[in-house]
Structure 1
Amino acid sequence: MAASALRVAVLVPCFNEEAAIGTVVADFRKALPEAQIFVYDNNSRDRTAEIARASGAEVRSERRQGKGHVVRRMFADVDADIYVLVDGDATYDAPSASRMIETLVNDHLDMVVGVRIDQSAAAYRRGHRTGNRMLTGFLSAVFGHAFRDILSGYRVFSRRFVKSFPVLSDGFEIETELSVHALELALPVGEIETPYYARPEGSVSKLNTWRDGFRILGTILRLYRSEKPLRFFTGIGVVLALISIVLAIPIVITFIEEGIVPRLPTAVLSTGLMIVAMLSVSSGLVLDTVTRGRREMKLLAYLSQPAINKK
């Protein structure tokens, strides 16, 4: 498929963004004149849908509240060769989309992440920046690879990525899930620095630093449990086994010296903890086999889609 014939879709999830959506559509229409722009309205109570439609975007809606639900609907409904996912708050740099697409095609990648470089103090709040660094470091420790900006809402995907990605998240933790999907299948990905601007006047962030931070952290733990169950449950088993051994040592010493078990409840607790530890490790072994099967199915779904051919 020739590069000029590649179908590009710009996907814009939004909620109450009437102050920004017109600018977003106009900027991406200018930056990617051949692309089709889809705005998915997520129960906005203002004129977001009306302004987006008047700006020339194709407007659709998703009734279930949450960015994860919107992305799931977008990926299922829209058919294209290249997908540009960008938030509808006018904080991301539309001209960078061309570079991101060029990198995706030329380097045969499946995802390119726009690494946010803030252009003003108001663009990227200190709490969000700190939380992003902490979560990025945690993801690196858990999955063995670091993205510089795992929470970026500006990404370009191949069709292979989009059509093999099972969206499970409901809210803003969707960015974390996208990153983990790429890491687990060892997909080729890249990152490009892109300017990050303050929201226009009248546009308000829907993020809550603490609430959404804990939700993202919970998503990483949940994905770690489901994608690496052997490590997860073995870790739990080792901790329980160590506690069991610590409790058992004085009991064993007393039994050897005096031939009695003076603390029967402690002995029962120690035995129970060791049994649970063994069951935890056994569960990890079983679930690891299941996870490998699920990963193979994801990989087959990925390989069933044609690769981008720039020639």
Structure 2
Amino acid sequence: MSDYDDVCVLLPTMDEVETVARVVGAFRDVGIEEVLVIDGGSTDGTRAAATEAGARVVEQSGRGKGQAVREAVREHVDAQYVVMADADATYDAADVDAMLDPLFAGEADHVIGNRFADMRPGAMTRLNRIGNRIINLAFRGIHREGYRDILSGYRAFTRESFLRLHLTADGFGVETEMAVECVKNQVPVAVVPVTYRERPGGSATNLHPIRDGGVIFLELYRKAKTNNPLFYFGSVGAVSTAAGAVMTAYVLYEWLVFRVTHEVITIGAVGAAILGIQLLIFGVLADMILSLHREQVARLERALGERDSDEPRETDESRGRDEVERSIEGDD
């Protein structure tokens, strides 16, 4: 029996004929028999090349990498462990042991491969490297967790933990969304070093740095609404309050120095200040509600865990725990 009998490698593809067979073969060479290629409508022979290399090929029903990953894991994967990688031969199949070890050991339910640990020359342009660093810093600041490389396409996770994530992104924002959802749902995450290579000659990237970078930043901010509401509402509130303060200072200066009034600007300054203060207050209240919600969920999980561990005996003690659980559910 192989250590990889319950592992599936997932490769989302779109016009990857130059590299897909090499990637499929590399993962099969390290001992993983189940390689699933989910294709987004390639027209260059990607599906035929993957099939010939020994992969199971499925054509996705929608468009975009995010939709492909969701559809594949939910409908086409039965294995307990999933390794997700790109089909462009930039990742090393030999790193799969490092990716799976934290899952097998029970140390994590989601593993991210850190490309910056061993990034080969030419693997990433200077613009992309700077953009990645900025996005990772923004993620750390907004979501209060440092995963070092949230845009990495080399992931390993348990299927059960993936199904706990609420994923909606259809394109390249899926990696960012997965990282945010792991924080939000308190999924144990491990970060391991992996090798990242330059794309082989002849293969073209489907990534558009400016467009996809904007999508990723928007995803970071949008997800802050439910994971860090103080930042989500507070940032807009701070900008609005600052704008009101600047307009107020200008109106006062004009009136004190030149005796000129600006009624319209004054109204705008007051409105901006009021809106900003309201958003700041709302952010604080939302953050308090989120903290209380997380505490209640933790209490309920502990109570259910205690009940499951001592379930068979119907004693005064177990009846007392049932009363506590009913009380907790009543509070919720």
TM-score by length of 2: 0.77
1:239-254 equivalent positions in 2, closer than 5 A: 239-245=239-245, 247-248=247-248
- 1:216 is aligned with what amino acid? I
Q: Which residue of 1 aligns with 2:56?
A: 58
Deviations along 1:240-260, whole A, 9 cap, x unmatched?
A: 3344355457878999x9xx9
Residues of 2 paired with 1:130 and 1:122: CA distance? 14
Q: Which residue of 1 aligns with 2:93?
A: 94
Matched, 1:155 2:185: no
Cα drift, residue 146 of structure 1: 1.6
- 1:73 is aligned with what amino acid? E
- After superposition, the Cα gap between the structure-2 partners of 1:118 and 1:252, relative to the gap in structure 1 and judged at 3 Å, is closer
Deviations along 1:141-188, whole A, 9 cap, x unmatched?
A: 222222222211111001232111122112112111111112223322
Q: Which residue of 2 aligns with 1:126?
A: 126
Matched, 1:9 2:24: no
Which structure has more RCO (C-alpha within 8 Å, separation ≥ 6)?
Answer: 1
Q: Which residue of 1 aligns with 2:329?
A: none
- Identity in percent: 30
Q: Which residue of 2 aligns with 1:268?
A: 267
- After superposition, the Cα gap between the structure-2 partners of 1:92 and 1:262, relative to the gap in structure 1 and judged at 3 Å, is closer
- After superposition, the Cα gap between the structure-2 partners of 1:130 and 1:284, relative to the gap in structure 1 and judged at 3 Å, is same
Residues of 1 paired with 2:172 and 2:5: CA distance? 29
- After superposition, the Cα gap between the structure-2 partners of 1:3 and 1:281, relative to the gap in structure 1 and judged at 3 Å, is farther
* Contact kept in structure 1, 2:221 and 2:232, CA below 8 Å: no
Q: Which residue of 2 aligns with 1:196?
A: 196
* Contact kept in structure 2, 1:43 and 1:63, CA below 8 Å: no
Residues of 2 paired with 1:135 and 1:66: CA distance? 21
Matched, 1:142 2:127: no
Q: Which residue of 2 aligns with 1:184?
A: 184
Residues of 2 paired with 1:80 and 1:270: CA distance? 59
Q: Which residue of 2 aligns with 1:38?
A: 36
Residues of 1 paired with 2:289 and 2:57: CA distance? 40
Residues of 2 paired with 1:223 and 1:142: CA distance? 9
Cα drift, residue 225 of structure 1: 3.3
Alignment partner of 1:272: what SS?
A: helix
* Contact kept in structure 2, 1:115 and 1:194, CA below 8 Å: yes
Q: Which residue of 1 aligns with 2:216?
A: 216
Deviations along 1:46-93, whole A, 9 cap, x unmatched?
A: 111011112221110114221111111112112221110011111111
Residues of 2 paired with 1:75 and 1:289: CA distance? 35
- 2:45 is aligned with what amino acid? R
Tell me which of 38, 47, 50 is aligned to 1:49: 47
Gaps of at least 5 residues in structure 1 are 305-311
Alignment partner of 1:137: what SS?
A: helix
Cα drift, residue 231 of structure 1: 2.7
Q: Which residue of 2 aligns with 1:114?
A: 113
Q: Which residue of 2 aligns with 1:309?
A: none
Residues of 1 paired with 2:250 and 2:120: CA distance? 62
Q: Which residue of 2 aligns with 1:308?
A: none
- 1:102 is aligned with what amino acid? D
Alignment partner of 1:95: what SS?
A: helix
Cα drift, residue 138 of structure 1: 1.5
Q: Which residue of 1 aligns with 2:21?
A: 22
Cα drift, residue 295 of structure 1: 7.5
- After superposition, the Cα gap between the structure-2 partners of 1:225 and 1:121, relative to the gap in structure 1 and judged at 3 Å, is same
- 1:148 is aligned with what amino acid? R
Cα drift, residue 19 of structure 1: 1.1
Cα drift, residue 14 of structure 1: 0.5
Residues of 1 paired with 2:246 and 2:149: CA distance? 42
Alignment partner of 1:115: what SS?
A: strand
Alignment partner of 2:93: what SS?
A: coil
- After superposition, the Cα gap between the structure-2 partners of 1:62 and 1:250, relative to the gap in structure 1 and judged at 3 Å, is closer
Matched residue pairs, number?
Answer: 298
Cα drift, residue 201 of structure 1: 3.0
- After superposition, the Cα gap between the structure-2 partners of 1:159 and 1:283, relative to the gap in structure 1 and judged at 3 Å, is same
* Contact kept in structure 1, 2:136 and 2:149, CA below 8 Å: yes
Residues of 2 paired with 1:5 and 1:293: CA distance? 41
Q: State which drifts further: 231-240 or 90-99.
A: 231-240
Matched, 1:71 2:69: yes
Cα drift, residue 207 of structure 1: 1.3
Alignment partner of 1:195: what SS?
A: strand
- 2:47 is aligned with what amino acid? A
* Contact kept in structure 2, 1:38 and 1:57, CA below 8 Å: yes
Q: Which residue of 2 aligns with 1:307?
A: none
Cα drift, residue 282 of structure 1: 5.5
